[in-house]
Structure formats: structure tokens, C-alpha cells
Amino acid sequence: MSNGRFLVWLVLVPLIFPYKTCAAQTFGDTQLRFEFSGNVRGDYRYFPDDALYPGQHQAYFSALFQPEIYLEWNRGKQFMQFTGFVRLDQYDSERTHADIRELYWLTIFKNWELSVGVKKIFWGVTESNHLVDIINQADVLEGIDLEQKLGQLMIHVSWSLKWGAIDLFAMTYFRQMKFPGREGRLRPPFELDYANTTYESELEEYNPDLAIRWSHSFSAFDIGISHFYGTSRLPLFQTTNGITFSPHYELINQTGIDIQVISGSMLWKAEIIYRQSKRKTITAFTVGGEYTFNNLFYSGIDLGLILEYNFDDRGIESINSLDDDFFFGTRIAVNDRQSTDLLGGIIIDRENQTLRYFVEANRRLGDSWKISIEAVGFSNIDPSEFLYLIRNDSYAQISLAKYF
């Protein structure tokens, strides 16, 4: 089936699925609860600037399908969660990809829980960068902001205690970071050879990665301290011929601290990491805050202002180039019945004034549709920045999603 025909089929999915599939059902005494839900989305993305590399296009259609299955029994003390992910891109064969975001079984005992399977875990508090967040590999094909994550296979135990929560993770089956293919935008100029990826660990992608985290919410504070030992989620690139590059993944120890303090309408935030590998020791942090003007002039609108500063002593080696950058952002929630919202911001490098900006806005249409627009721009990109490779890839996107 060609991508185009597949796309059409996918967009038809919500119309084919009967509405009853999302209803929770209880089957007599067995107390089984079953839910099927999810969404399907169509995206149109336009790049106004000329492509830098051969094979790239100006405009792309793509579709996204995210089904979810939730199965609960034993009065909610045990459940199974599945979240699938399928992206179909008009041109880019690498961006056309599928993933199991979640597929795990969880069981709850009084104040602790055990889960086994593929999960997504988020740690952290800041908005422009997620330094502390390390459990899952980023899905770079879905966004260079590293917000989207691939599922990670793990055993996860969590205790909720008076003095906070303790989480233990044992992970394996490492997921490589994948980049757009030859016909895709937002990619490096060189070809990536994933077949020749090398690892510091002799067990390669089967290295057992371990993590521990203590986190606590009390009065005005939310604090987390975490440690990770295992294969770094961020690749280094090596080449023998200067044309084809293959990723290399080091073993690292990373300690992270995230702190958030609330004071009225002000949220103060900080994340700091200390990472060691055989090759290098690095420190990075993000500090800042967010102030919200609630119910502005009794209009119901919330206006948030965000200011953050990012430091990373990896410098240009940091994959998102947030090495010495300020982030100014704003968040608007209209709080209307369509849940209209907007998030926008600029990131500017303190030294070379490299500038990137973004805006994203969402609005519900009717009860189960959602329209979104997104724009990402780059300007004045300094040749020393990793972003220089994608300097012509500013884009605007419009999306329509159906939830079921």
C-alpha cells in the first residue's frame, strides 16, 4: 500500500470505529473494566525556506494514530495499559515510524506499586529544557524540542511514604535516537548508519540501566533527587569517511535535582544535573520561574509569563544547544468551553544571539475534534551551533485531530 493510500485509510479510522468502543464496561462479578480510546490526527507542515540538502521537500502531509487500551481488574488494584503510536509521513521513510509508547501491567499494594513493561516516565519542573528527565529516549522524529518520548522497557517499583516517594527502575533494551531520513527536513546533512551503532557497554542495547529517585511534595515545595546509571540517551557521532556517521552511546552516571517552590501566583523552578562518563564530566542547569495572572480583568483568561536560563558546560555538544540561553515564554489559557490555549516563546543564546522561537495554539471543535497550529522559527543561527544544520527549517503546521 502506498503511503498516500495508507494515509487516507488512517484518517478514516475514527469514522469506522463504532462509538461504543470507548465505553467502560463491567462484566458481572469479574469487575473487569475495559476502555478503548485514542486519537487520529492529520498534519500539514510547510517550510517556507529553501531546502539545504538534496531530497528534501517544501511541504509535508502526515498522519498520526494513537490508540489506547486500558484493562482494569481486582477493583482497580491491577491494570494493564497500552498506548500505541503510528506516524505516517508523505515523503520521509524514517519519520514514518511506529512505537509502543506504553504496554505495562501495574499492581498496587497499600502504599507501593509494581509495574512491569514498557512505560513513559517524566521527571522535572522547568519548561524550556528537561535535563533531569532521563528514563525514556526522545522521539526526535516527532519534535526537536525532545518533548516526545519513546517507550522504555522496565521494572518499576514505587513506594509512597510519609517523607516522600521512592522509585526504583531496572531497565533494558535501549532505544536509539532516530533522526529524519533523506527526504525529511530538520535533519543533519550526513547519513546515519544505525546498523553500526557502537556502545561502551559490552552488552550493547541490553545493558541493564538502573535508576533511583526520591521525590516529595510538602507545603510550598516539590523536590526530587535522582540518580541514573546506564547507557546515555544522547548519542555521540563517529565517522570514518566523513559522509556516513554512526552513533556511539557511552555509559554514564547522572545525578539530578529538581526543585519547585510555589509562592502565590509565582512558581520558582530549578533543575541541575551532574553527569560523568569515562570521557567527560559535565554540569548543566536550568533556573527560572513562571508567574500567572489569573482571571485577567475577570475575563476568565490566565496569562502566564515564563523566564528561564539554561547553562550546559557541554557547550555546542549539547544536542538542543541550550548551553547559555535565555527562554522568554508566555502561556495563555482562555478557559472557554473550547479550552483555547496558546504557548509561545523565544530562546536566545546569550553569547551569539542565536534565536529560535515557537508558538503553539489549540482549540477544541465540537466535543471530540481539536485544531492546532504550531510554528517554529530559527534566525541569526551562529555557525557554531548544532542548530546551524537546520537553520533553513523554520516551519508552520496545522493539525486536525479526532478523539475517540
Residue 262 touches another protein, criterion: CB under 8 A? yes
Task: Identify the residue among 34, 46, 70, 328 touching another protein (CB under 8 A).
Answer: 70
* Segment lying near another protein (by CB under 8 A), choices 138-146, 257-265, 275-283, 376-384: 257-265
Residue 110 touches another protein, criterion: CB under 8 A? yes
Task: Identify the residue among 260, 318, 321, 399 touching another protein (CB under 8 A).
Answer: 260
Number of residues that bind another protein (CB under 8 A): 47
Q: Is residue 211 within 8 Å of 134, Cβ to Cβ?
A: yes
Q: Which cell numbers in the block locate residue 157?
A: 517499583
Residue 287 touches another protein, criterion: CB under 8 A? no
**Contact mark string toward another protein, 306..335, x via CB under 8 A:** -----------------------------x
Q: Is the dihedral of CA 49, 55, 59, 63 positive or negative?
A: negative
Residue 21 touches another protein, criterion: CB under 8 A? no
Nearest to 174 by CA among 230, 120, 132: 230
Instruction: Measure the CA–CA gap between 64 and 86, rounded to whole angstroms.
Output: 6
Bridge partners, residue 359, by sequence: 344, 375
Residue 337 touches another protein, criterion: CB under 8 A? yes
Question: Is the CB of 27 or the CB of 122 nearer to another protein?
Answer: 122
Residue 103 touches another protein, criterion: CB under 8 A? no
Residue 31 touches another protein, criterion: CB under 8 A? no
Question: Is the CB of 56 or the CB of 158 nearer to another protein?
Answer: 158
How many angstroms separate the Cα of 386 from the Cα of each of 241, 253, 277, 316? Answer: 20, 24, 22, 6
DSSP 8-state assignment for residue 54:
T
Task: Identify the residue among 205, 222, 313, 360 touching another protein (CB under 8 A).
Answer: 222
In DSSP notation, 182-222 reads: TT-SS--SSEE-GGG-EESSTTGGGPPEEEEEEEEEETTEE
Instruction: Measure the CA–CA gap between 91 and 185, rounded to whole angstroms.
Output: 10
Residue 338 touches another protein, criterion: CB under 8 A? yes
In DSSP notation, 206-270 reads: GPPEEEEEEEEEETTEEEEEEEEEEE-SS-EEEESSSSEEEEEE-EEEEEEEEEEEEETTEEEEE
Q: Please give the residues from 114 up to 133 whose contact with another protein meets the rule CB under 8 A.
A: 120-122
Q: Please give the residues from 159 up to 218 whose contact with another protein meets the rule CB under 8 A.
A: 160, 165, 215, 217
Task: Identify the residue among 106, 118, 270, 376 touching another protein (CB under 8 A).
Answer: 106
Nearest to 248 by CA among 205, 204, 197, 175: 197
Binding site residues, another protein, CB under 8 A: 22, 37, 39, 70, 72, 76, 79, 106, 108, 110-111, 113, 120-122, 147, 158, 160, 165, 215, 217, 219, 222, 260, 262, 264-267, 292, 294-295, 298, 300, 302, 335-339, 364, 367-368, 370, 401, 403-404
